[in-house]
Structure 1
Amino acid sequence: MTSSSWPFHSRRSSVWSTRAIVAASQPLAVQAGLDILRAGGNAADAAVSVAAALNVTEPASTGIGGDCFCLFYDAKTKTVKGLNGSGRAPAALTLDFAQSRGYEGIIPPTDSNSVTVPGAAAGWVDTVELFGSGKLGLDEILAPAISLAEKGFPVSAVSATLWEKAEAKILAASPNSGEILRNGKAPKEGEIIKLPELAETFRALARDGKQGFYEGRIAQALVEVIESQGGVMTLEDLKYHTSTRTDPISIDYGGVRLHEHPPNGQGIVALIALGIIHELESSGRTPRLLDLPHNSAEYLHIIIEALRLGFADAQWFVSDPEKVAVPNGLLDKKYLASRAQGFQRDHAAVDVVRGSPANSCDTVYFSIVDEEGNACSFINSVYHSFGTGIVAKGTGFALQCRGSNFSLEPESPNVLAPGKRPYHTIIPAMITDPVTDDLRYCYGVMGGFMQPQGHVQVLLNILRGMDPQAALDAPRICIGADDDKGKIFIEHGIDEQVVDSLRAMGHRVVISYGHDRAVFGRGQVIGVASVEKDRTRVLVAGSDPRADGCAAPLL
């Protein structure tokens, strides 16, 4: 795992450790995770501490008002386990009701009825209970975030930019905008801001567990603000929310096994794409992808077309498996081979009408590997920037708008229904050895529908021999949204001749520069570089240069 032969796209080097590493998009949140590891917690304990600290330091992207998913690698059993911490639609939110409100296509993301039950609070508690060390209480795990919120912290560059862009939205969303704005303004880079109401919310969760959030003062405040704007969420919707234990789904490619969270998440897109690439390679219809020049036109064309096929399936079949049966055969080799028949080597052939994704980058992903070799791949989101922008009085956080990802088309498996979870964009990932089940990488790339695209591209970079930092630094591509009419966003740094060749194949290419690079997501990677004869584990990590964060080792 060295990057000496790869172009140096950032000023960062990979981080190395023989103990533990935390990688996240905010350095203060990384320190929170390290504090928990020093106190005797494991990767799961540290993940929840990081999640809460990120709610404080990057609230546009994440928080207790949103949802979470995690994959946990148990070093003792060499197994990967999952947790679905996403919320469900209120019991009174029916398709008939939505249609009576005049919604077209989706529930608008600033509408109070786009608020599904926030699953993060229960997800944090359950992560600690199911996968934690048992050595630390929730009060200790949330203490770093409470301290940051109460004492204040200087806002980082990306977080300040996201905060400023959402000013008008937050001001218009509810009468409680002053809990996350100051005098109607977002904090500037380097400005110290305190979030005392959020600290009190964390205290209630630490003291009373899930009841402290889903019942009592906080629950009442959530229902009141939603009802005041025409929403139908009730105290019962909150009280009866539960997380779900899950078994990851996986596929083998390039000598490794990629684990993704199952539906209602979209991790299956990455698996379908890799399966189609494997079928194209094994049938001789394309060269082995890893033998092609990196980010060459043919290399990117294969990735683009495979991902389009993956999205076409996922956006038609992926839904809440508790409500709608998701076909078991989407990863079957015969099915993948049949899907690969739609590929054309010399031009863009995949239909972009069905399954063409939309893009959003308001999510945080972070990765942790502890001293025992356990790993936690964790993702937390409010979907759009500050979600709906709605803040319940005395809570200090914005409510998510995940319900806007339901379809309002009756024939869609992802159609809105009471008590149903929507198609979910946020996905954690994990890579293991398919023979030994040893952990190889704990990684992920956030960014709405960019996420499976990032998972595939970063994995392929790793398989080409890049170390984690180089794998994240490398320029990426992103399939555009429906309203972009099939555009392919290409990150500045990919050769202009490659861009010309892709255009000649029929791809509608747009080059993205500067802050527009946010469309390519932000990732974190921690890998197990080696295990020495004395069983010393050597870890290596990278953090995406498109974010404010870092990877840091435990001393």
Structure 2
Amino acid sequence: MKYLSYILITLFTTGSFSYAADRVTGKDFVTRSPVLAGHAMAATSQPLATQVALDVMKKGGNAIDAAIAANAVLGLVEPTGNGIGGDLFAIVWDAKTKKLHGLNGSGRSPKSLTRQWFIDNGYDKIPSHGPLPVSVPGTVDAWFMLHGKLGKLPMSEVLQPAINYAEQGFPVSQLIAYYWNRSTPLLSKYPGFIEQFTNNGEAPAHGEIWKNPYLANTLKTIAKEGRDAFYKGKVAKTIAEYIQQQGGFLSVEDLADHRGNWVDPVSTNYRGYDVWELPPNGQGIAALQILNLLENFDLKSLGHDSPEYVHLFTEAKKLAFEDRAKYYADPEFNQLPVEELISKAYAKKRLQLIDKNKAGKHFPAGNVALSHGDTIYLTTADKDGNMVSLIQSNYRGMGSGMTPPGLGFILQDRGEMFSLEAGHFNAFEGGKRPFHTIIPAFVTKDDQPWMSFGLMGGAMQPQGHAQIIINMIDFGMDVQEAGDAARIHHTGSSEPTGEMMTDGGILNLESGFSYPTIRALMRMGHKIQFANGPYGGYQAIQKAENGVYWGASESRKDGQAAGY
């Protein structure tokens, strides 16, 4: 029945019915042209945030200032995906030094909490909500790290637009109203949520003006007193007291000890383009592993809507995700074989496991010698050539539900991603960073910036990164077409939390793939189901050889790319 419903929906959306307002240029599926600008560009998941980023750059700020300002606004206008209760990762191209900088702004687990405590109290996995999955929020510290290294305007000016919108209000956009309404029944049982994120228990409606005076006050404190106001001052004390009152373990010491890390991005070369990701504890290198495998096939001749391409992509994803489940974790607690995992030689070994005609049901992780959620992604670029690729999230939409009194934000539940399996790389330990799904990406060509991009959506992210690259390099799509094209989403692979892939998982194909392709994939043994909405959210800025910025935004979200 699931197969039949998928086929009927696909025929309705891609068969004899044509799209409205057929375009005279570009691919028939594309929603709009790329946005072009010669001076500066911003692409975010909310138009208000995009405009703030441009305003900051028009005032003399750079791409780093603009990214921080936009992120602060997104935490207000899109609380269903991010906020200062979450973590942040970024890749920044510094035009002055012509160098990429990576920032891991993820927080650590409470030091006083142990894996044994969970076992002794009857847990077989870490819960998704409440106080136990809460880890230290790293976003505010990451803002100040970015700003201290590369920022230009005073932080008070950078955060002022978010403060203004929090005090004066903003109209809630369509998709955010939808997800806010879905989250409210689940999170309303936690103290502080109803008071700070509902109108008498109801989520704000699409188009309703929403204010968050609590968040405005918190941002004012941060703007005036700096990052320590969040990690060592009244804010930290409020967070710790609240969490411990709910039965959690996060302490003022955990918050005070937090520091993000500057890291070196890692890359693989895909058909002449260097694709850059951050190393674990994130999942970025899975995209590089997928690309290394698929580089061995002539994807261009196969075409985007072909069963052969979709099959090869899915099998490559399965292989990469088995390594992801085993090896991706906090490098401060493990010796991780990153260099070998993203090597061409390793890809050649793993390639032998792919059957070109049959879907794999089970794959082992590689033998390497050792020496859900929602998210926001944004990218900015300025007149000097600086470019920022930034991603930020609370995990599981609005996060843990833990809403400290009077602060105006919800704490993340990233700790759910730890495993309780003894000896696992990602096993829970106090003071450890969990496996992370959020990943920014960057591409260079001939040591020059070519594209800053990201694609939101849990385990969809590395799958989406690889598909964007393939769409542009193999299938010749422009930066907007690459995001609008129908996406492949495979679920059911083994996970870093300990779950194992069973019977090959499930293949979701977005509307746009043809019925003959779907039928051929089913004959290969793929289990195909219709899924509504797990295909991620994309933003990108590409830099052309003549210096013009090409911006793209996600047609599936409420976003906007704009420039001047």
Q: Corresponding residue for 2:529?
A: 510
Aligned AA (2:139):
A
Give secondary structure in 2 for the equivalent of 1:459.
Answer: helix
| C-alpha separation in 2, matches of 1:417 and 1:316 | 16
Kept after mapping to 1: 8 A contact 2:403/2:409 = yes
Report the Cα offset of residue 353 of structure 1. 8.4
Kept after mapping to 1: 8 A contact 2:31/2:484 = no
Q: Corresponding residue for 2:129?
A: 110
TM-score, normalising length: structure 2: 0.91
Kept after mapping to 2: 8 A contact 1:305/1:350 = no
| C-alpha separation in 1, matches of 2:330 and 2:37 | 39
Aligned AA (2:560):
C
Cα distance change, pair 145–312 in 1 and its aligned pair in 2 (3 A): same
In structure 2, which of residues 529, 534, 539 is the aligned counterpart of residue 524 of structure 1? 539
Q: Corresponding residue for 2:6?
A: none
Give secondary structure in 2 for the equivalent of 1:114.
Answer: coil
Report the Cα offset of residue 329 of structure 1. 1.3
Report the Cα offset of residue 69 of structure 1. 0.1
Report the Cα offset of residue 98 of structure 1. 1.7
Kept after mapping to 2: 8 A contact 1:173/1:388 = no
Aligned AA (1:324):
N
Report the Cα offset of residue 115 of structure 1. 0.3
In structure 2, which of residues 311, 324, 343 is the aligned counterpart of residue 301 of structure 1? 311
Q: Corresponding residue for 1:534?
A: none
Q: Corresponding residue for 1:468?
A: 479
Report the Cα offset of residue 352 of structure 1. 6.0
In structure 2, which of residues 23, 38, 41 is the aligned counterpart of residue 18 of structure 1? 38
> What is the percent sequence identity of the aligned residues?
40
Report the Cα offset of residue 76 of structure 1. 2.5
Kept after mapping to 1: 8 A contact 2:330/2:435 = yes
Map 1:342-491 → 2, pairs under 5 A: 342-349=353-360, 351=362, 360-433=372-445, 436-463=446-473, 464-481=475-492, 486-491=505-510
Q: Corresponding residue for 1:292?
A: 302
Aligned AA (1:264):
N
Kept after mapping to 2: 8 A contact 1:477/1:488 = yes
Q: How many residues align?
A: 527
Cα distance change, pair 47–448 in 1 and its aligned pair in 2 (3 A): same
Q: 222-231 vs 450-459, which deviates more?
A: 222-231
What runs of 5+ residues in structure 1 fail to find an aligned partner? 282-286, 532-536
State whether structure 2 residue 38 is matched by structure 1 residue 27.
no
Q: Corresponding residue for 1:495?
A: 514
Give secondary structure in 1 for the equivalent of 2:140.
Answer: helix
Cα distance change, pair 176–493 in 1 and its aligned pair in 2 (3 A): closer
In structure 2, which of residues 523, 528, 550 is the aligned counterpart of residue 540 of structure 1? 550
Aligned AA (1:60):
T
Root-mean-square deviation (CA, aligned residues, Å) is 1.6
Map 1:126-205 → 2, pairs under 5 A: 126-132=145-151, 134=152, 136-205=153-222
Q: 63-72 vs 484-493, which deviates more?
A: 484-493
Kept after mapping to 2: 8 A contact 1:269/1:452 = yes
Give secondary structure in 2 for the equivalent of 1:146.
Answer: helix
What runs of 5+ residues in structure 2 fail to find an aligned partner? 1-22, 367-371, 494-498
Aligned AA (2:397):
S
Q: Corresponding residue for 2:343?
A: 332
In structure 2, which of residues 59, 62, 73 is the aligned counterpart of residue 53 of structure 1? 73
Report the Cα offset of residue 312 of structure 1. 0.6
In structure 2, which of residues 140, 158, 163 is the aligned counterpart of residue 121 of structure 1? 140
1:339-381 Cα distance to aligned partner (Å, 9 max, x none): 11111100112526879xxxx2410001111111110000000
Aligned AA (1:508):
K
Report the Cα offset of residue 332 of structure 1. 2.4
Aligned AA (2:272):
G
Give secondary structure in 1 for the equivalent of 2:459.
Answer: helix
Aligned AA (1:466):
M
Cα distance change, pair 350–325 in 1 and its aligned pair in 2 (3 A): farther
| C-alpha separation in 2, matches of 1:399 and 1:26 | 21
Give secondary structure in 2 for the equivalent of 1:189.
Answer: coil
Aligned AA (2:545):
S
State whether structure 2 residue 265 is matched by structure 1 residue 255.
no
| C-alpha separation in 1, matches of 2:451 and 2:396 | 28
Give secondary structure in 2 for the equivalent of 1:306.
Answer: helix
Aligned AA (1:79):
K
| C-alpha separation in 1, matches of 2:458 and 2:335 | 24
Give secondary structure in 1 for the equivalent of 2:412.
Answer: coil
| C-alpha separation in 2, matches of 1:473 and 1:66 | 28
TM-score, normalising length: structure 1: 0.92
| C-alpha separation in 1, matches of 2:205 and 2:159 | 26
Q: Corresponding residue for 2:253?
A: 236
| C-alpha separation in 1, matches of 2:466 and 2:213 | 40
1:199-231 Cα distance to aligned partner (Å, 9 max, x none): 111111111111110122211111122111110
Give secondary structure in 2 for the equivalent of 1:159.
Answer: helix
| C-alpha separation in 2, matches of 1:174 and 1:472 | 39
Q: Corresponding residue for 1:72?
A: 92
| C-alpha separation in 1, matches of 2:355 and 2:122 | 41
